Every structure is written in C-alpha cells, then in structure tokens.
Amino acid sequence: MGSEIYVHQHEPIDTINPNVYGHFAEHLGRCIYGGLWVGEDDRVPTEDGVRMDTVELLADLEMPVLRWPGGCFADDYHWEDGIGPREERPTRRNAFWTQGRADIPEEPNEFGTEEFMRVCDLLDTEPYLAANVGNGSPGEAADWLEYCNYDGDTELANRRAENGSEDPHDVKFWGVGNENWGCGGRLSPEEYAEQFRRYATYLRSVDGMLSERDVDLVSVGHINEDWNRKFLDALDDCAEFVQGPYDLMDHMSVHRYYEAGGDTDFDDEEYFRLLARSRKVGGDVDDAVDALSTYAPESDISIIVDEWGVWHPEATNTNGLEQENTVRDAISAAGVFDDLHERADVVSMANIAQTVNVLQCLVQTDEEDAWATPTYQVFDLYENHAGGTALDTVIETDEHEVEDEPYDVPLVSASASAHGDEVFVTLSNRALESEDVTVSLEDKSASLVDSEVLFADNAVEEYSTKDNADEFTPDDVDVVANGDGTFAVAVPESAVVGLTFEA
C-alpha cells in the first residue's frame, strides 16, 4: 500500500525557530569535564582549555543555543565560585551528580562563566544560563546578570573586565531555576510562583539598565498539567496590588525524558514503545499551551523544551548518566523534531540532554578522540529546517498500536519547511521493513534538488563507537520524480530521509 505525505505549501504554520536545535550541557559526569573542557590536559588539541575535537564536531552542526550549568546542578551552583583566577576557586561537592563515582572528583570550578562564554564563542552559539533558585537568592541571580551583561562602571562589570571580558556577554536567555518542583527545592506550584515573581522582579530591574539587549526570562513548568495550572494561577496572586505578573515571563519550560527496554537490548515491541513515548514531547507542549491560554490568554509566552531525550536504565547516577546511543534513539529524535515543527507557532526552543557524553548525547569522547552519535546525524540533517517556515503536512500511513500508551506510532513521520524557492522535507520510516512513500507537493512543476538517507544500512540497535562512527553518515537515496509534483521513495526499514525540492 505504502504511505503518502501531502505538503501544503500554501498553509504555513510559522517560522521554525533555529533554537529548536539547541543543546544542554551540565556539570554532570563527563559532559563538561572531559567532554568540553580538559584544561591543561594535552592529549587532545585545546584552545584555552576547551577541547577542540568536540568543538569542531559541534561547530559543524551550527548549534544555535547552549543551556548551562544545569539541570539540577544549577540550583546548587554559586556563580562567583567559578570566576577569577582558577587556582583560587573553591572546590565544592557536586550535590547531585558525583555520588558513587570515584573517577569524577568534586566540582573544581575550573569551568565557570568565562570558560562557558569561551565555548559559546568557539561554537558561535547563544548562551542560555539557568539561575539558582533552589539555594540561591534573587540578589545572587541579579548580580550574575549584571556581571554578564552590564556595560557601565560597577564593581561587577569591572570584575568581568578583569577576568578578560571587557565587552558584556549579552546573555539573552535566563532560566529562573530548574525543575524547582523536584531537585530544585521541591517547591509547590504556589511556592514556585512566589519565587518566580521575586527572582524575575530583580532580574528585570537589571534588565532595565542594559543598553544592549533585553533578556528573556524562562519559568520552570512541568509535564504535569495540574502543576502548570496551579503555578500560573498563583502567579497572579499579587494582581490586586500590582499589574502584570505574566509580563515577567517570556517562555515556560517543560522537560521530557523517555525509555523502553534497555539502551541496546530491546525487542520489537520496546522499539515501538520508545517511539510512542517520544510523542509525549508534543503532548507536553500542547498541555503547557492549554494552561497558558487559560491563565495568560493575552500573552505571547512560548514554550521551551529545555531538556528532552532518551534516558535508558543503563544511564544510572553511578556512571555519570552515560549510555549507548543507538539508531533507535536517533529515529525517535527525528519524530520529536517533526512534532516540534508542527508546533512552530508556540515552541521557541528545545535543548537535547545532553550535548557530550551524557544521556542522548551528540558527541562522545575518550581521552584521545571525539566522535558523533547517530542522533548527531539526525541533527545535522534536520537543521536544514532551521529558520524556514513550517508547512502543514498531512501523512497517510498505518499506525503500530502500542498497548497501555497514550500514543500509537504512525509508521511514517514527516515534516516540511519552506525556504524561499525551496521546500525541505524530512521523513522517517519507523517500520521494521521498507516502505514505499510518495511525497506530494502542491506545485506540480516542483523538482528534486537533493536527497539523502540516514541509517539505510544500520540496524536499530546499532550504536556508534570511535571505530564505527562513520558508518552512520548519510547515503544517497533514489527518488522517482513522477513529473506531476509527486515523488516516490522506497525508504529502507528504520531510516530517515531528507529531500530538498525547488518549488
């Protein structure tokens, strides 16, 4: 029978914010130390202590935004520990992520604000900082913003200059805590609403003094819709006396992790179950939007999914949350991007967890080498959507039913975006056999410009290592142009295709 994809070129959804292809890096396991930062270690090429083999791989992806320093770490991080001469910085415990792992020492604070900004410069990426709400203070958060962004003659701005950065860092995105309903203090929605108002008020007071760039504040949301509703309701508690608590917020965040079976050891049902669970990312966005439309209908607060990805049982707290990264994981990422494109009008950013070595990483390292994972390849292909206009896309395909899950798995997932005269279409065949797919464009004279396929020769449980990473790079794929705006592709089992049309 095959599957049909109809691309409605004249039904734009919205611009796909390039920040949807964002990343997240935490002081956790080997993400920062060993992955991005090696300091004096000369076994790999470095620039100012930053690991350049990792940077080169990530720079090829044109990473738009990088969130740091956590995660749970953010709500126990005191930013002043990480500035000034490195030899004078204090060593602290890493409350969340060093337990039980002897080879990860305490937090040495070698990598702090200036080192992070150096990484962002080398990657040409936008920094996104998460302030400490858990055991910090609004003053500490406001001081960090002043240190980073203020260009006047204050002690903090001068300290930044002494630390090597005369010019402000102009950090646009500021998270007000992280998972404050959990590791960030176990706050009730009402308690977090109170904290959010306090922090946002003081951050906004610095924001008002900045000559360059306004900041965007990101509140913590939850995948539990009730939590979001209670938080948004309580945020307005001060409305009798002061206006506009919703104006304090530019974005609300949600986090979604999913798993099924093991990282490499899973059966066919677990393969599909993981794909079904990955669909919750789109559902979480819809739930957050619903809550916002009830409590702040006039606002243009958008959704940031600032942690998402596969978290397998093998990634335990005792191994620095490392796991093998398979083709199955990468295929789930392709589906998540299709779902985010469909919601381009409400999603302003997404950050995969985490960029190097940890969870669904894009790059893995050892002491000598850095290499790309299959998920890296999906990012590389899909990033061609960034900045384009998402187009309404209708897919006719069979579904694989998954018991006891809120979602089944359409065998073909797809999305499309317009870029001037070009239309870019991505599609994944999640079936465990090849599938004939027809792509129809409205422009009957459309022609194919480029076509590639990922994972045509890889089984779903294959994962990348330093010796085989180039086996996951794209191949050519045959596409038959029917001459009437329709194109036929025989998509191999569990593979992802990218098609560029002139239309």
Interaction site with ligand AHR (CB under 6 A): 26, 70-72, 178-179, 255, 307, 353-354, 359
State the burial class of residue 461 (Cβ atoms within 10 Å of its Cβ: 0-12, 13-18, 19+). middle
Q: Kindly write down the DSSP assignment for every residue of 249-279, as one continuous string.
A: -SEEEEEEEE--S-SS---HHHHHHHHHHHT
Q: How far is the CB of 383 from ligand AHR (least distance, A)?
A: 22
Catalytic residue among 140, 307, 342, 383: 307
State the burial class of residue 241 (Cβ atoms within 10 Å of its Cβ: 0-12, 13-18, 19+). exposed
Q: Which candidate, 231, 251, 229, 379, places its Cα nearest to that of 304? A: 251
Count of beta carbons in the 10 Å neighbourhood of residue 412: 25
CA distance readout (Å), 262 to 315, 333, 355, 360, 444? 10, 17, 21, 13, 46
Q: How far is the CB of 184 from ligand AHR (least distance, A)?
A: 8
Q: How far apart are CA 397 and CA 294, in angstroms?
A: 34
Q: How far apart are CA 232 and CA 207, in angstroms?
A: 23
Q: How far apart are CA 321 and CA 318, in angstroms?
A: 7
Catalytic residue among 107, 110, 140, 179: 179
Q: Is 348 helix (H, G, I), strand (E, B) or coil?
A: strand
- Name the DSSP letter for residue 75: G
Q: How far is the CB of 63 from ligand AHR (least distance, A)?
A: 17
Q: Which is nearer to ligand AHR, 95 or 238 (CB)?
A: 95
Q: Which is nearer to ligand AHR, 127 or 134 (CB)?
A: 134
Q: How far is the CB of 307 from ligand AHR (least distance, A)?
A: 5
Q: How far apart are CA 37 and CA 54, in angstroms?
A: 9
Q: How far is the CB of 7 from ligand AHR (least distance, A)?
A: 35
Strands (E), 314-388: 347-353, 363-365, 370-372
Q: How far is the CB of 178 from ligand AHR (least distance, A)?
A: 5
Q: How far is the CB of 309 from ligand AHR (least distance, A)?
A: 8
Tokens representing 387 are: 């900045």
Q: Which residues pair with 23 in a beta bridge?
A: 66, 352
**Alpha helices of 150-261 — where are they, by DSSP H?**
155-162, 189-207, 225-235
Q: Which is nearer to ligand AHR, 19 or 178 (CB)?
A: 178
Indicate if 462 belongs to the active site: no
Phi, psi of 355 (to 5 degrees): -70, -40
Q: How far is the CB of 403 from ligand AHR (least distance, A)?
A: 27
Q: Which is nearer to ligand AHR, 176 or 499 (CB)?
A: 176
Q: Which is nearer to ligand AHR, 44 or 223 (CB)?
A: 223
Q: Which is nearer to ligand AHR, 37 or 77 (CB)?
A: 77
Question: What is the CA angle 90-94-100, rounded to 5?
Answer: 130
Q: Which is nearer to ligand AHR, 263 or 307 (CB)?
A: 307
Q: Which is nearer to ligand AHR, 310 or 453 (CB)?
A: 310
- Are the C-beta atoms of residues 394 and 383 closer than 8 Å to each other? no
Indicate if 179 belongs to the active site: yes
CA distance readout (Å), 109 to 138, 292, 412, 485? 22, 38, 46, 57
Q: How far apart are CA 162 and CA 154, in angstroms?
A: 12
Residues catalogued as catalytic = 179, 307
